[in-house]
């Protein structure tokens, strides 16, 4: 029997793949001779093709942003799209109003051409030979996808974290093709600390005995331990101290029955006095790492972290971000979350400051939220309301333009 989806869920969606024969010259100087992009769409494109919203994914995201791929997937919430909280009929990104496009970026591992794809020139996996791609390259390939879909101008380009960086790149590189930029929990470029965490992740992958210089697929294996470790480190940076405290501090009674809960729930209720898992947070991280390692390509992880490290739109303007933003002609919505320590509010304020300097239209929301960087994926009322109101206004503008 088919499942009845909630009325605000997009339901079953089918990914599509588009092939490009054109050569794409990359930022590095290397080029890709033809490639595939896999994407999903939700909602209907209007006749003037003016109601399209592009969703840009973050480090470990993909094209599957909303709904389910099959009836059997729909039995598990784990298999819903990564931004199901925001995309759907009547949701903040309202598929009754907008035609929403979400793709897997180049170099990804969910269907678009990437290191785990077969290189047509050799008949073997690209592996480590897949060229390093940057945010700029992604946006260029997204523009090619827009052409294929016949979308001359996006009503909005929306993304969180690394996705927000793509949004900024769109605004700067394609000013005539974007009406509104919605950039959530992002930064104008990484801090040294951000890069340091990425390097730990990369080292843990490349030092795994099963990495084989990136040719692990040819060796019929994969660097599971390294990928797990990379994800565990990453995951810590996505959560806040207080979010971890409340997640793993509900039942802590062993140490201090009358005291505060310190986020130190035990897994089995007793200490092992060994080096196995004692605390729930340890098993949680291991579980997250393990699940991730089974579904994500290690070379893609390396590429994504490099794209983050390299992002700096000010680089073409002698380091002056406001000059970069002067290229833009869209309006901006910037949002940050109070406990995000990966890209804290100060980083979003930097973006706002340079947008103001460039005399751009900008709205900025600093959302009080306990959940750290991950907040942008969660149904936090003030955040959702802000996004919803902003996009409702975008739609109103569309309708009045057409009238």
Where along the sequence are the contacts to another protein (CB under 8 A)? 333, 349, 352-353, 356-357, 359, 361-366, 382, 385-386, 389-390, 392-393, 397
- Can you tell me the distance from the alpha carbon of 401 to that of 378, in angstroms, rounded to the nearest whole number? 33
Q: How far is the CB of 168 from another protein (least distance, A)?
A: 17
Nearest approach in angstroms of CB 388 to another protein is 9
Mapping DSSP onto H, E and C, the string for 238-284 reads HCCHHHHHHHCCCCCCCCCCCCCCCCCCECCCCCCCCCCCCEHHHHH
Smallest gap, in angstroms, from Cβ of residue 334 to another protein? 9
Q: What angle, rounded to 10 degrees, do the helices at 192-206 and 224-238 form?
A: 160
Give yes or no for a contact between 373 and 337, defined as CB atoms under 8 angstroms apart.
Answer: yes
What is the rounded distance in angstroms from the CA atom of residue 220 to the CA atom of residue 340?
38
Which of 74/365 has CB closer to another protein? 365
Q: Which is nearer to another protein, 291 or 359 (CB)?
A: 359
Q: Residue 161 catalytic? A: yes
51 or 141, CB closer to another protein? 51
Q: Reply yes or no on whether 62 is catalytic.
A: no
- Shortest spacing between CB 336 and another protein, in angstroms: 9
**Other CB atoms within 10 A of residue 57 CB:** 26
Question: Phi, psi (5° rounding) for residue 55?
Answer: -105, 125
392/398 Cα distance (integer angstroms): 10
Rounded CA separation 239/179 (Å): 32
**Which residues, listed in sequence order, are joined to residue 52 by a DSSP beta bridge?**
99
Give me the least distance between CB of 353 and another protein, in Å please: 4
Judged by CB, which is closer to another protein: 73, or 350?
350
Which residues contact residue 123 at a Cβ distance below 8 angstroms, ignoring those fewer than 6 apart? Answer: none
Catalytic choice (340, 354, 374, 375): 340
Q: How crowded is the C-beta side of 390, counted as CA atoms within 13 Å? A: 28
- For the question of residue 119 being annotated catalytic, the response is no
Nearest residue (CB) to another protein, 258 versus 400: 400
Query: Which residues belong to the active site?
Result: 161, 340, 373
């Amino acid at each position: 029997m088919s499942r009845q989806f909630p009325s605000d869920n997009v339901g079953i969606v089918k990914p599509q793949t588009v092939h490009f024969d054109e050569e794409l010259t990359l930022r590095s100087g290397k080029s890709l001779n033809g490639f595939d992009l896999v994407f999903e769409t939700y909602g209907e494109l209007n006749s003037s093709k003016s109601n399209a919203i592009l969703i840009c994914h973050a480090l470990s995201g993909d094209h599957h942003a909303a709904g389910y791929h099959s009836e059997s997937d729909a039995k598990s919430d784990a298999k819903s799209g990564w931004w199901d909280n925001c995309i759907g009929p009547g949701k903040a990104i309202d598929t009754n109003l907008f035609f929403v496009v979400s793709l897997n970026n180049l170099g990804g591992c969910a269907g678009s051409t990437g290191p785990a794809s077969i290189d047509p020139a050799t008949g073997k996996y690209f592996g480590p030979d897949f060229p390093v791609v940057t945010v700029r390259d992604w946006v260029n390939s997204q523009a090619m996808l827009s052409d294929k879909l016949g979308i001359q101008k996006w009503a909005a380009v929306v993304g969180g974290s690394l996705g927000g960086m793509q949004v900024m790149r769109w605004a700067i590189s394609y000013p005539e093709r974007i009406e509104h930029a919605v950039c959530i929990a992002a930064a104008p470029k990484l801090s040294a600390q951000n890069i340091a965490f990425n390097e730990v992740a990369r080292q843990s992958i490349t030092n795994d005995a099963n990495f084989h210089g990136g040719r692990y697929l040819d060796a019929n294996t994969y660097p599971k331990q390294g990928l797990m470790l990379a994800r565990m480190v990453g995951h810590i940076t996505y959560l806040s101290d207080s979010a971890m405290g409340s997640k793993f501090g509900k039942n802590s009674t062993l140490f201090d029955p009358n005291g505060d809960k310190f986020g130190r729930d035990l897994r089995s209720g007793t200490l092992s006095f060994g080096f196995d898992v004692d605390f729930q947070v340890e098993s949680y991280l291991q579980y997250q790492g393990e699940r991730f390692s089974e579904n994500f390509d290690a070379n893609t992880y390396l590429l994504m972290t490099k794209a983050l490290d390299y992002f700096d739109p000010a680089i073409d303007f002698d380091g002056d971000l406001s000059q970069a933003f002067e290229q833009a002609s869209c309006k901006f919505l910037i949002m940050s979350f109070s406990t995000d320590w990966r890209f804290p509010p100060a980083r979003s304020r930097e973006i706002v400051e340079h947008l103001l300097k460039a005399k751009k239209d900008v709205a900025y929301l600093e959302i009080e939220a306990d959940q750290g960087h991950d907040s942008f994926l969660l149904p936090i009322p003030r955040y959702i309301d802000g996004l919803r109101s902003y996009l409702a206004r975008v739609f109103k503008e569309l309708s009045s333009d057409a009238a």
